[in-house]
Copies of this chain bind each other. A is one copy, B any other.
Amino acid sequence: MYELFFQKFNEKVALSPQEQEQIKVYLTPKKLRKRQYLLQEGDVCKSIAFVEKGALRAYTVDENMNEHIIQFAIESWTISDLFSYLTAEPATYNIDSLEDAELVLITRSAHEELLRTQPKYETYIRLLITGAYIALQRRLSSNISQPAEERYTRFTDTYPAIAQRVPQHMIASYLGLTPETLSRIRKKMAERR
């Protein structure tokens, strides 16, 4: 258990076996069924979730009941409503599972304790968030500067594993498009070759 978690941790910051044991104590495993919620809007986000297996999404729901996908997370990715997690304010995102999933949770109190006692954990978190920030900046850049078809191509090129695993209407939502529009874009692309 936690194999993938510690593999990825060690890729960022090398841990001694002892350090690894010390950190392990603060981790909580959790299984999630397909369609099950990890977090619902309005609740406080109680943990960061590292995905050992499965696929999840974070999304908002607008006044017309349309879902807007903020993030996908598959194996070795981390997902949460970070603002809610850090401030204990009500979450603005929903997080649910797209497949049966196995997660490694770090609760807020564990997080705080790890930050206090394990300097390498702080480094891990810093690098984790830095990487997420850079990826998000690129996605935003694509969103404000590219037309829909190029955004779609960028997505499938950047995240082929996700593109194959999640329903198309969710990719549309992630890109800020309606399912109909994405369907038509794909048709045009297919006709061109």
Contact = CB atoms under 8 A, between A and B. Distances in A.
Interface of A: 60, 62, 66, 68-70, 82-83, 86, 119, 122-123, 125-126, 129-130, 132-134, 136-137, 139-141, 143-145, 173-176
Contacts of A82: 130, 133-134, 137
Contact of A70 (B66, B126, B140, B175): B140
B70 A143 contact: no
Contact of A60 (B62, B122, B145): B145
Nearest to A67: B145
Contacts of A133: 82, 129, 132-133, 136
Given A129-B133, A130-B86, A144 B62 contact: no
Total copies of the chain = 2
Contact of A145 (B62, B140, B144): B62
Contacts of A70: 137, 140-141
Interface of A (DSSP majority class) = helix
Contacts of A132: 133
A134 B83 contact: yes
A29 to B, nearest CB: 25
A132 B126 CA distance: 12
A30 to B, nearest CB: 23
Contacts of A123: 122
Contacts of A143: 140, 143-144, 176
Nearest to A174: B144
Contacts of A86: 130
A41 to B, nearest CB: 12
A121 to B, nearest CB: 11
A123 B122 CA distance: 8
